[in-house]
Structures are given as structure tokens and as C-alpha cells.
Amino acid sequence: MNAFDLALSRLRPRLPSPLEPVEDERLTRHGLRLLLKRDDLIHPELPGNKWRKLALNLRAADGRPVLTFGGAYSHHLRATAAAGRLLGFDTIGVVRGDELAGRPLNPSLAGCAADGMRLVFVDRATYRAKNDPEVLARLLARSPAGTYVVPEGGSNALAVQGCVELGRELSGAADVVAVACGTGGTLAGLAAGLDAGQRALGVPVLKGGFLGAEIRALQTAAFGGPRGAWSLDDRFHCGGYARTTPALEAFAQDFEARHELAIERLYVAKMLYGLVALAEEGAFAPGTRIAAVTTGPRS
């Protein structure tokens, strides 16, 4: 074990994460069983898919500064900044929206700054072109030599490989595994780790219908081609990333009251909302065991 792997192990991630049955009559009346895969309990500051997606990338960075990307409410930026503080490496966060520069920071970005992340605000056109070699070169020119780049949401081949274990942890435990999707890396790895006969269901939290191609590209980069059975249902984004609706908020509050469990709004609530709607539509055969992955931080 090298020095960085030893440092990661000292953070004592809770792996495998717990799998907890939940009795919810909105599903049980259709003959369905709901289980929560509590990835939010992996680590208090690096919860859920953030640990799984970052671990191999941080090993590759090997203590070098890390530059990554996200919006104003990005869980990925927050987790990367926390990892930098916990493990002692510098972090740079490229934030979408130059209009945010000079304004008071929202709680998410304030947390990043408190953890030592240097925030770089760029206009939205530049952000959309963040993968262009010239744009990336300009950003790296203002960063320390040797800076390691992690893409938006942490989703690259290493992140996908890190999420394979999530599927393996659910071997034989569920028929359908549902996960909220931002950039698609978690779903790409999860599907690859599931057994034959199991399938993954992704609930995108952004609108646009582009995610399928992204997931196929990520699996090709990680494994050389497609892996596992997966599908997407993009009806439950509630207007797009970081957006909610009164109906979603009412659902989340009701779920919390029923099960005495706080649920994160931007990802997990949308996924659970979608599962209840799909159950009402008859999308799952009676007897189906559904594992819902709680990826986001606890509220």
C-alpha cells in the first residue's frame, strides 16, 4: 500500500455501505419491495458516489493539486474540496457562471472555500467549452505545475471503474437498482458491476436527453465497450439541475416523515419521486426488489 492509499484508508470509509429495507405502502401495494443502498453513510464528508468516483482519481493524482469543474451547487466540488483538506492536497474549482464572482458565496461554495479550494468563476460559454484543449490549457496555465484534472462530476474512466464495486455489493440483493444521474459515471460503473438478470435504472436530474450517449462513451473508455443492462427515465428532473417543484418538496417532506430519514433534494428526492410514480404506472412486475442508491449528502 502506497502512502496515498494509506491516507485514504485512514479516513475509514464505511464499505460496503448498508442496505436497508424500507416499508412504503405506495410500493408494497403493488407487490414491490424497496431497499435503500445507503451510500450517503460511506463517509460524512465524502459521501455516496463521491467517494467511489474520487478514490481512484485521487490515487492517480498522488498528492498533486486537483482542478475540477462544477456549478454553484455542485456536490462534486464540495467533496473534492473536503478531500483536499482531509488528505492535504490543493484544490481548484472552476465554477460555471462569471456573474457569481464578487457575490456572497452560497453555502455550498462557501464550504468549498472554507476547505481551501481556490474558486475560479468562468462565463457559461467558456464552461461549455471546458474540454477544449485550448480552454483547458488556459486554466492550467494559472494553476500549479503538474495539476491533475478531474472532469465535471468526477466522471471519467477511473470514476466508472470505482463505481463497479457498488454493483457488486448488490449482487443477488435486488432486481432493479435505481440511481439519480448527473454526469452518468455512477450508472455506467454500477451497471457493469451488477449480475446478469439485474438491471440499473438511471433518473437524470438534468434535462436535455443527452445522457445516454455520455454513459455509452464512459463505458467504452472504462471497459472498451458496453457493460450491463441499464436504462434512463428522464421525466423526473423537475426543471433541471438544482431545481425543484412544490410537488417534489411535498413528496420529500412526506417521505422524511414516513421513514424518519432526511433525503437530499437535488438527486435522491427526484429518484425516489420517480420510483413511486413508476410503481403507480405499473412499470415493475409484482415481486420486484428495488434498491435505491442514496448518493447525495444527508440533508
Instruction: Provide the number of structural domains found in the chain.
Output: 2
pLDDT surpasses 50 at 299: no
- pLDDT at 1 (0 to 100): 65
Question: What average pLDDT does the segment 143-164 reach?
Answer: 96
- 141 in the same domain as 170: no
**Residue 20 in 3-state DSSP?**
strand
User: Rounded to an integer, what distance in angstroms lies between the CA atom of residue 70 and that of residue 84?
Assistant: 16
In a domain, 88, yes or no: yes
Domain that holds residue 206: 15-47+155-293
Contacts 24+ apart (CB under 8 A), 285-288: 285/31, 286/30, 286/31, 286/32, 287/31, 287/32, 288/31, 288/32, 288/33, 288/175, 288/176
Burial class (CB in 10 A: 0-12, 13-18, 19+), 197: exposed
Shared-domain flag, residues 210 and 96: no
- The SS3 assignment for 190 reads helix
Residue pLDDT, tens place only, 27-58: 999 999 999 999 999 998 887 788 999 999 99
What digits encode the pLDDT tens for the residues 79-103? 999 999 999 999 999 999 999 998 9
Last residue in a domain, options 111, 146, 181: 146
CATH of the domain at 74: 3.40.50.1100
Q: Are residues 210 and 276 in the same domain?
A: yes
Please report whether residue 138 resides in a domain. yes
* Domain annotation covers residue 137: yes
Residue 296, pLDDT above cutoff 80: no
Q: What is the pLDDT, as a whole number, of residue 212?
A: 96
Residue 237 pLDDT grade (very low, low, confident, very high; cuts 50, 70, 90): very high
Range 189-212 average pLDDT? 94
CA atoms of 134 and 56, how far apart (whole Å): 26
Q: Look at residues 112, 146, 180 and tell me which one is the last residue of a structural domain.
A: 146
Task: Answer yes or no: is pLDDT of 298 > 60.
Answer: no
